[in-house]
Amino acid sequence: MVSATSREGAGSGPASPRAMRADARRNYERLLTEARSAFAERGTDASLEDVARRAGVGIGTLYRHFPNRDALLSAIFEDAVGDLLTRSHELLDAPEPCAALVTWLREMVTHAGEYRGLARSLMSVSYDRTSALARCSDPIREAGGALLARAQEAGRVRQDVAIADLLQLTHAIALAAEETPGDPGLADRLLMLTLRGLRAG
């Protein structure tokens, strides 16, 4: 029997829901629904056994769909990734490149802070190509990179700024806001302080 601990260390990703039988797809959707609820209530370190129980399936079924916690987080974060990609494409046509970058990073902070612990997980996998969460990191890095390059080409952001570093700072800001719930304006202040230091000239 494979333990929960060893499963959480596995590196493979979930099967595509489109390739599933109807009953497997129902289990997949129930697990996602209950994981979102559990993570919203208790953070992303909520018990996966409890997620499976709330979904009405065994823990083995959960691990067949999501071999580890990062795979489950990746599936949950996919909707946010889609929103961020769509938004980045819209903002590429914005008249002020630096303002467009700030707007997108602010939305990134909001999505990363949706579940307690998600920002920390996103930070930890930024340079880990083996994690299922890297599936989310790659398109986000590409989308943010396009907005950053546009701001740099306009002479508004320093040329030595890298999108990977900027995203790490964004995740750190989301984490700081998560740790300070009594200060709703903290994330925005930290983001603006960060961006002042990135400006060219």
Residue type, 5: T
Other beta carbons less than 10 A from residue 76's beta carbon:
21
Task: Report residue 131 CA to chain centroid gap.
Answer: 12
pLDDT at position 64 over 90:
yes
- As a whole number of angstroms, the distance between CA 37 and CA 122 comes to 19
Q: How much is the pLDDT for 13?
A: 46
Task: Dump pLDDT digits (tens) for 133-152.
Answer: 877 888 899 999 999 999 99
Task: Dump pLDDT digits (tens) for 182-192.
Answer: 998 999 999 99
The pLDDT confidence band at residue 200, using thresholds 50, 70 and 90, is confident
- As a whole number of angstroms, the distance between CA 7 and CA 151 comes to 43
**178 and 114 Cβ atoms separated by less than 8 Å:** no
Other beta carbons less than 10 A from residue 42's beta carbon:
14
Other beta carbons less than 10 A from residue 34's beta carbon:
20
Mean pLDDT estimate for the chain: 87
N-term to C-term CA, the chain: 61
Strand, helix or coil at 25?
helix
Q: How much is the pLDDT for 31?
A: 96
**172 and 123 Cβ atoms separated by less than 8 Å:** yes
- As a whole number of angstroms, the distance between CA 103 and CA 114 comes to 17
